[in-house]
Amino acid sequence: MPVGINGMGRIGRLALRAAFGGMDRPIEDPRHGNRLDIAHVNEIRGDAAVAAHLLEFDSLHGRWRQRFGCDGNDALLIGNRRIGFSAESTPGGVPWGDLGCEIVLECTGKFLKPNQLQGYFDRGARRVIVAAPVKDAAALNVLVGVNDDRYQPGQHRLLTAASCTTNCLAPVVKSSS
């Protein structure tokens, strides 16, 4: 399923690295082949060359083993893959659906209200997963291992990964209750 990423800060870069196998998994790991198909990246701070550099040289995770580059300012080159790149300031500025993105990962931390996120849907995204809390009943806050059974694909188009604090504490609270 083609995925777009809006925001290439810490969370966006880690999502992209994970999608490309940034973490080696043994061949016997049942999740060895689980990867996302990243179709497009949008980032307003820096151009494609800056994004490629920050992906390759991570201050915490070290240098990534892939080859990096850019094709002008329209694409990132990672290994043998070409990923579209843009620098639009709003979710509605990117034609997500036309670029093949069914899901968009909102990783900017800036767009946290349904009316701000509507641009993704207006431009063709079928689902949006926000990497920060969305404090609105329109968004399902999903905590893996705690309430992920509540996700109904036909009903939930706007999801959030809640907050890092919630993700740390909720599994502990659930297991102790």
Contact 130, 111 (CB under 8 A): yes
90-126 pLDDT, tens digit each:
999 999 999 999 999 999 999 999 999 999 999 999 9
* pTM (2 d.p.): 0.89
Q: Which of 34, 41, 36, 45 is nearest to 4 (CA)?
A: 41
Which domains does the chain show, CATH number per domain? 2-132 (3.40.50.720)
Nearest Cα residue to 112 out of 131, 95, 89: 131
Answer yes or no: 164 catalytic.
Answer: yes
Give bridge partners of residue 78 from the DSSP assignment.
68, 81
- Eight-class DSSP state of 59: T
Residue of 101, 107, 164, 168 with catalytic role: 164
